[in-house]
Structure 1
């Protein structure tokens, strides 16, 4: 049965508001998606009726909260087809997850060891590896993208060597919408003896993720792009990869024994969850995934692609407009620039008509340099967007251009 978009929209209170006298058209989903009532109620309900700190408590509220928290971990496990809940680490977001891995493998890195990235990575998947370059002498190797925005797989294959220790690439670009051939990326890296992290912060809401099939060592999700709360993310790691990874922070549940002259560490996942975790946020993430899981991913993909294609076709007819990223099978992310008009001006004028888009370098400055621009405007589509909203966006864009040219 096809998605009932009207019913879906009714579950998002924020979509009923107006902005500058116009109905809100929210096309900034690649930055952060809105939250359905199921997520809001899960968090407020837990806080109102059964909240306490998790683990170690023996009273009823502690037990109930721990059960809800660990249930959310199992929800994430099933969502990406991980082998067990113990493979899932809760973090405060995708950024912390990637920093956790980069920090943890530092002791495995020697001067001259190579880390492979692509030029379309988010800064969260670039800066942590620069830390290893600065602190341990790692060498960063960069894989370019082709004219259509797809990853240059021949260049990737050529850059792998006996010095390659780690590969960290996006599963879906937050700027171009490019979906990388993740399984092949993993296979080639493993053949070269390297570990692989896949950044799934964009892919998680648009693709049906199966980490077992992908074969990656690590996979990263962030909650706020999956219709969940901010301040929560998840790191998947294989049992072997997590066992090799050094702890990221110390304190709380990550310890086994602490004495004056020694410390031993807990097993994963607790080994990487120092201190009080984001309890309510994790429960909200579990609720978001449960909510999203009620729909057919193929139907979601078809709906979002239909919206993207409608917008792309309309923008293609506008002189002086350049679309960035047209790789086959890409996600519903439309980045564009206009001759003689700064993306910030486009975004501000669209806001006058209630249209929310993103403008800037999108935390992807190496990609902007590769594209030959300083910034782009970006419209990104989600499950609750409609054809009428796409048309409103196109109409407002025409008006904005007429004001600026």
Structure 2
């Protein structure tokens, strides 16, 4: 099937909305993506016809719910090429996934050990590792970036040593759109004997994640960044690690046997999944990835590159606009400042014209401080955006510039 953005858009009900009389131009996809009708239908069908708890019920509804829920796990495993389905752990999102890993690594660290991150981390990554170090006495090292928003690979390499126990970094920067050379970075970290976690929140929606080929130890992402419901996420980890990883929460499902004195943990994946899960959301996540898998992913990636290239060209020609983050390899994000205008004002004035963007520091305050800016206006693109919407953004920005003059 050839990629056709018009056909794609017809499957997203919200994209037909007007905002104050203007057609919605949704350019806040790095924050969350919209949901195709098939995902909405999958959630509605579950609640309308199968609503039941999973795994333990002895009736038809429980059986149907369990099959749909566990079928979604199979879908995720195929989508990211996991070695076995048991490596897919359900979470509430990227943040919880990182916290599960951090909770476990903190119990394995000693004073003098090191964790390594980058200057472009989201708070969910940075602060979580800060806390792991505070708990264990380990030291957090931060690999620097250049003024373009690209990682300095030489200094990243220099910071790696035999005391580096885990390295964490984003696949794609949520604030700048920088696509990190993750294959090289993983190889460097593994050569130093470190575990590697990839924050895939921004990378997963582009449909080119093969965890076996990458060679990382953990890959984490949120469902709502990939056309699925909020409150869903995935921790993928190597089976050999997860089988002995310290449990994150205790409760139902994750226990195999229990007495008044002690308990033994269940096998994977359930040992890391305590309590009643977000069943409808997980089913929706499975539906989203099945939908995405049916698309022309090569055509999608070419379309997304065209959106980025056109937006960048328009931005470079726009008087009074400064792009923040000019890495050679970027995808999906255009962060910028308008001369004489605070990002919040720019966002407000764009919204009055039906253009939805994000403003602020994008949960990357230390990165903004590093770049010497208070925050940015951020337009972020997805497969359903069009070149006409890129034009609409810059036509609206012309009016913003006049209003700010």
* Band the TM-score falls in, shorter-chain normalisation: over 0.9
Q: CA deviation at 1:374?
A: 1.3
Asked if 1:63 corresponds to 2:58, the answer is no
Which residue number corresponds to residue 273 of structure 1?
273
Name 1:216's counterpart in structure 2.
216
Deviation at 1:148, TM superposition (A): 2.5
Per-residue deviation at 1:326?
2.4
Work out whether residues 206 and 331 of structure 1, in 8 Å CA contact, stay in contact via their aligned partners in 2: no
> Any conservation in 2 of the 1:117–1:143 contact (CA below 8 Å)?
yes
Between 1:335-344 and 1:29-38, the stretch displaced more is: 335-344
- Provide the rounded CA distance (Å) in 2 between the counterparts of 1:170 and 1:161: 20
How far apart in 2 are the matches of 1:313 and 1:355? 19
What is the CA–CA distance in structure 2 between the aligned matches of 1:350 and 1:320, rounded to whole Å? Answer: 16
Query: Unpaired runs of 5+ in structure 2?
Result: none
Q: What is the alpha-carbon distance in structure 2 between the residues aligned to residue 329 and residue 240 of structure 1?
A: 34
Separation in 1, partners of 2:241, 2:319: 50
CA RMSD of aligned residues (A): 1.1
Residue in structure 2 matched with residue 193 of structure 1 by the alignment: 193
| Aligned twin of 1:81 | 81
Structure 1: how far apart are the matches of 2:39 and 2:207? Answer: 20
The TM-score normalised by the length of structure 1 is 0.98
Alignment of 1:355-370 (within 5 A): 355-370=355-370
Q: Distance in 2 between matches of 1:280 and 1:25?
A: 28
Give, in whole Å, the separation in 2 of the partners of 1:49 and 1:2.
34
User: 3-state SS of the aligned residue for 1:244?
Assistant: coil
Cα distance between partner residues in 2 of 1:376 and 1:88: 35
- The answer to whether structure 1 residue 249 and structure 2 residue 253 are counterparts is no
> Does the 8 A contact of 1:42 with 1:287 survive in 2?
yes
- 1:227 corresponding residue in structure 2: 227
Structure 1 residues 356-395: aligned runs within 5 Å: 356-395=356-395
- Of residues 333-342 and 395-404 in structure 1, the stretch that sits farther from structure 2 once superposed is 333-342
Q: Which residue of 1 aligns with 2:345?
A: 345
Structure 1 segments unaligned to the other structure (5+ residues): none
Are the counterparts in 1 of residues 54 and 62 from structure 2 also a CA contact under 8 Å? yes
CA distance in 1, matches of 2:346, 2:193: 46
C-alpha separation in 1, matches of 2:101 and 2:141: 18
1:302 aligned residue: 302
Asked if the contact 2:105/2:132 (under 8 Å) is kept, the reply is: no
Q: Is the 2:106–2:133 contact (alpha carbons within 8 Å) kept by the matching residues of 1?
A: no
Compute the displacement of 1:319 (Å). Answer: 2.7
State how far apart, in whole Å, the 1-side matches of 2:218 and 2:244 are: 12
Q: Distance in 1 between matches of 2:326 and 2:70?
A: 40
CA apart distance, 1:243: 2.2
| Conserved? CA contact 2:232–2:278, under 8 Å | yes
Contact 2:314 2:394 in 1 (8 A): yes
Q: Which residue is 1:322 aligned to? A: 322
What's 2:21 paired with? 21
Matches within 5 A, 1:4-153: 4-153=4-153
Structure 1 residue 207: Cα displacement? 4.3
Cα pair 2:147 2:371 within 8 Å, conserved: no
Shift of the 207–176 alpha-carbon distance from structure 1 to 2, 3 Å rule, reads: farther
Contact in 2 for aligned 1:68/1:283 (Cα 8 Å): yes
Q: Using the TM superposition, give the Cα deviation of residue 264 of structure 1 relative to its aligned residue in structure 2, in angstroms.
A: 0.8
Q: In structure 1, what is the Cα distance between the partners aligned to 2:181 and 2:373?
A: 26
Asked if the contact 2:177/2:330 (under 8 Å) is kept, the reply is yes
Q: How many residues align?
A: 405
Render the CA deviation track for 1:340-373: whole Å, top value 9, x for unaligned: 2110000000001000000000001111011111
TM-score, length basis structure 2 = 0.98
* Contact in 1 for aligned 2:174/2:333 (Cα 8 Å): yes
Counterparts of 1:133 and 1:178 in 2: how far apart (Å)? Answer: 27
Deviation at 1:301, TM superposition (A): 1.1
Distance 2:223 2:346 in 1: 28
* Aligned-partner SS, 1:249: coil
